Chain A
Amino acid sequence: MNSARHLLSVLIWLPAIAGILALFLPRQAPKLLRGYAVGAGLIIFAESLQLLVGATNPAEASTFRLVENVEWIPSLGIRYHLGVDGISLWLIILTTFLTPITMYASFGSIRNRQKEFIAAMLILESAMIGAFVSLDLFLFYVFWELMLVPMFLIIGVFGGQNRVYAAVKFFLYTFAGSVFMLIAILYMVAKYKGLTGHYSFDYVDLMRMGFPVGTERLLFAAFALAFAIKVPMWPVHTWLPDAHTEAPTGGSMILAAIMLKLGTYGFLRFGMGLFPLAAHWIGPTIALLACLGIILGALAAWRQYDFKKLIAYSSVSHLGFVMLGLASRTEAGVSGSILQMVNHGISTGALFLLVGVIYDRRHTRDVAEFGGLAKVMPVYAAMFVVVTMSSVGLPGTNGFIGEFLVITGSFASDLLNWSHHCSGAGVDRQCVNSQIGPLFALLAVSGVVLGAVYMLDVVQKVFFGPNSNPRNAHLEDLNTRERRAVIPLIAMIFALGLFPTTFRERIDPSVRSFLTVYNAKREALGSRRAETAPYLLDEATVQPPAGEGAAAEGHPTAMRGSSNHSHRASNLVALGD
């Protein structure tokens, strides 16, 4: 355990250092640069696999592991507090897994300024991992903002025709969204100081805060806005198609596969974790927006002639599933969401990579330009079809298991059925006598169907039928570099699809523990609705009964005990209400 104590710090800072060092490598030696980039990426990936070995074995995955908690700016209560649990574990590994693949795949299309590209990618990796493991809100915000600059440069410098517009739009949307989050964080900290006499930005400390109902909703709204823009949820998704279309292949891959997940991750960890009452109140609305995103995103994707725009809109649709799962508040739904985040990362990453391949050959992304590619590029076509199947959620691939869990979760969710809501009092009262029943599940299922429609439609157009366009007659099939980049992704598609339990057994305990705390805190807040000033909850409220593994780290405040008593077998049973 000792050797791995600083593993999270290593994972954050190793990419940043590697990125800065890359700037000092000679520009004249592209081979060295590429080798360096992929090597660094793989070493970081190998490091991140250590997360699976000792630190987060399934039984202990419900608590924060590998906690590092030291003072950074003590007088302001800002700490360097890191930790990983089952919610963030796979997202970190997804990040380290995709970064080397992305860099490797990009060397075909990015031939100028490779050095700067590598540096930006590695620094971006560092910021993303940092955001996933930060348990101090200030630290989280720092990493959250830090992500913007490298991505801005990747889109703006290496992107397509209209790259500057897209880069600026991306930056301003996200920056404007997050300033409100900062205000909300500062407001919470100011009130925390008022109650306890000392400052703290610590997630675990701020978990204890309770606010009057109206204030809590405002604070939640400030967080939710920042995250909703990042996700992006309908209707604040308009930056995404621009950013994706103009970004280089590598930029699109990272943006879709990982950066969007920070929105959903933040929504779960901070939005729902800190403000359960408000999150619960707005839950059905979020679910409705998510369903709108699923359906409208799918419809928009269907109408696209630009390959990348199509995938961008399909991301809006897929992220709708993730948000729906989160809004269900059931273990199945939330676990499914987390799994779906990873799935979407892999399948959309692969889709962008594959679209990049034909863009490199033809320099167009117009779907109408292609047809009958299966004959000239058989390997490419086969891989594309596999990834498509994953994207539409065919059983056996990773897409199926995530969507299935989300839909099950929303079907079983009491919150989304509104059946128990009549007991609510005061402002929370939303009494609906007739059960709306599986409305959201139905909407989501229709989204699955639409997803199949637009993806299969485009596959049919591009790969089958006559190859009438003479410029497509002699396209080169995947070369070695491209195959090497795609194969790990395909392998992951099946690994996740066929052995989901391996992944879920590390996710579920954390989700269970998260929902236990969520519900406990929500009830505690609900019972004190009449409060007109901020107040502190008992520490015990936000800490479920500690399991066996909980005291091992010696950071009692950093722990959220595991709840081993709940049944693994009842995975699909709603714990939400």
Chain B
Amino acid sequence: MNLVLLLSPILIPVVGALVLMLLDAFQKEEGGLAMPTALIHFTAAAMALALWKHGLPADVSALHGYLTIDKVSLFLDATIALGGAIASLLAGGYLAEHKLDRGEYYPLITFSTAGAMMLVSASDVLMLFLGLETMSLGVYAMTGFRRGSPRSAEAAMKYFLLGSFAAALLLFGSALLYVLTGHTDYAGIASALHDAAAQTAADATAAAQQTTRARVGIFAMLLVLVSMAFKVGAVPFHMWTPDAYEGAPTSSMAYMSVVVKAAAFGAFARIMLAIFGDANSAGAAAGWPAALAWIAVATMTVGNLIALAQTSVKRMLAYSSIAHAGYLLLGLVAAPREEGGTTAYAAMLFYLLSYTVSNLGAVGALILAGRRGAESVSHDDLAGYARRHPAAGFALTLFLLSLTGIPPTVGFFSKFYVVRSALDAGFTTLAIIAMINSAISAYYYLGVLVKMYMRDPAPGAPLASPMRSGYVTAALIVSAFFVVWMGVMPERWLDLAREAVSPAAANAAAPTADNAGGSAPAAQH
């Protein structure tokens, strides 16, 4: 029972998806599953928060080190479930409007959510892979959901091929780690690496062997790093992102840009910090923050510069999501360097939550602007939109301002917090680059506002008008509520993020090296 309770944030979407499939089989008309799907997600989020509130059981040996249910994973579970809930509400409006409302979408989204939650809890490379695939398969299908459209099929294909490539890299890296250490769980790998590095070589052969092992360790670290960089869409592994985002149905794009990102960042941070976080245990492989710092700089700069040139709002949001991945990487880069290593990690978690509500809102407002056969995707589609429809225009404005980082929205605060944690950790140059990028990004977000408020549509061009959908409206209201609330009163949310990463919380639930090293690998050997 204890175990069921502990896993309930993951089990709820799993069971929920099965129920949804049954519902879909028995219902006569298509559609109508959005609300149950959103409810399943909200329940999962509530469960995660309840577990948090109630306190995690001290004894988690039943998980055998495969999964770590700690406050970090609960925080991310709640973020993912909130994102999934809003995304499924958006799907309820979008799919129906664009005649795509086939029932299988909702089980897919729910299964993906379960996969995403596994991913953020995974503390074993096998579990990591399983979670990654569970999440990704659903998302591949959601990307290609518009079957009649070649763009959608192309997007799904690209995403699938590059995603598989990344998964293969991850597997290769995991295999090398297993060869080196004989463990698949993070704690076991970390302690084995630590022991190996601590040994003093007896003779020249042993020394050479040790060097080789260190090199293999670096290589394994690189493979893991690259595969995770693929998943979060960091430059130069971002090539799939714009095509996949643009080709996918907009509701799938909403889901991909927030849930997949949150899950991938959660897993990324956990594996890097658990295995390579400590300079002693990982040896030379502990140099990854420096490498990641360069990736972060490239990611935000390239993302922002290419976003400047876009004429499609949807594609612009895809590049902006790359740029935001860059800001998020800042938190991950700073995390191991910093005293106690918590502020930057907390900043990253907070940023994920903030980006989830801001970006879902922005994409949702874009969905709202399109009707059947006249989806609004380009800047020109939106010309004069906010003048004709002030409320709908204001919604998009609010979320774009949050993405830009203008107070009093949460986007400002989360960017502030992540930059500050980078400064605290001593990455002054990195912080300055991030702020310059923030200024660059203002230009393209502003471009949309300019179109909406200050330009008239070309003569004869179709006028964008908002669709009428209770689902989308509800999703936007929920997002806007969080964007403003978290922006004006961030303290309580910051507390949550900080509590998630505080060492006390981690000790309460994370398996110690002993129990994980003792039980899980023993079963595998």
Contact = CB atoms under 8 A, between A and B. Distances in A.
Interface of A: 72-76, 113, 116, 141-142, 145-146, 148-149, 152-153, 156-157, 163-164, 167-168, 171-172, 175-176, 179-180, 182-183, 186-187, 189-190, 193
13 contacts: A75-B491, A76-B417, A141-B407, A146-B406, A146-B407, A148-B406, A156-B450, A179-B439, A183-B419, A183-B435, A186-B431, A189-B420, A190-B420
Nearest to B413: A73
B442 A75 contact: no
Contacts of B324: none
A187 B423 contact: yes
B435 A193 contact: no
A164 B449 CA distance: 10
Nearest to A159: B454
Given A75-B495, A179-B436, A145 B406 contact: yes
Given A75-B494, A76-B417, A153-B453, 17 more contacts: A73-B491, A73-B494, A75-B491, A75-B498, A146-B408, A156-B449, A156-B453, A157-B387, A164-B454, A164-B455, A167-B454, A168-B446, A171-B446, A172-B443, A179-B439, A183-B423, A186-B419
B416 A182 contact: yes
B444 to A, nearest CB: 11
Interface in B422-459: 423-424, 428, 431-432, 435-436, 438-439, 442-443, 446, 449-450, 453-455
Nearest to B437: A179
Contacts of A148: 406
Contacts of B454: 156-157, 163-164, 167
A142 B407 contact: yes
Contacts of A187: 423, 428
B288 interface: no
Contact of A179 (B435, B450, B491): B435
A153 B495 CA distance: 35
* Of listed B406, B419, B495, residue having the most chain A CB within 10 A: B406
For the complex, would chain B's binding face be called helix, strand, loop or mixed by DSSP majority? helix
B491 A164 contact: no
A554 to B, nearest CB: 25
B384 to A, nearest CB: 11
B32 interface: no
Most buried by A among B431, B436, B446, B490: B446
Contacts of B449: 152, 156
A180 B435 contact: yes
Contacts of B407: 141-142, 145-146
A141 B415 CA distance: 14
B390 interface: yes
B358 to A, nearest CB: 16
B401 interface: yes
Contacts of B494: 73, 75-76
Nearest to A143: B407
Given A164-B455, A171-B446, A186-B431, A149 B406 contact: yes
B412 interface: yes
A72 B488 CA distance: 9
Contacts of A76: 417, 420, 494
A186 B424 CA distance: 9
Contacts of B428: 187
Nearest to B407: A142
B491 A183 contact: no
Contact of B439 (A152, A168, A175, A189): A175
A183 to B, nearest CB: 5
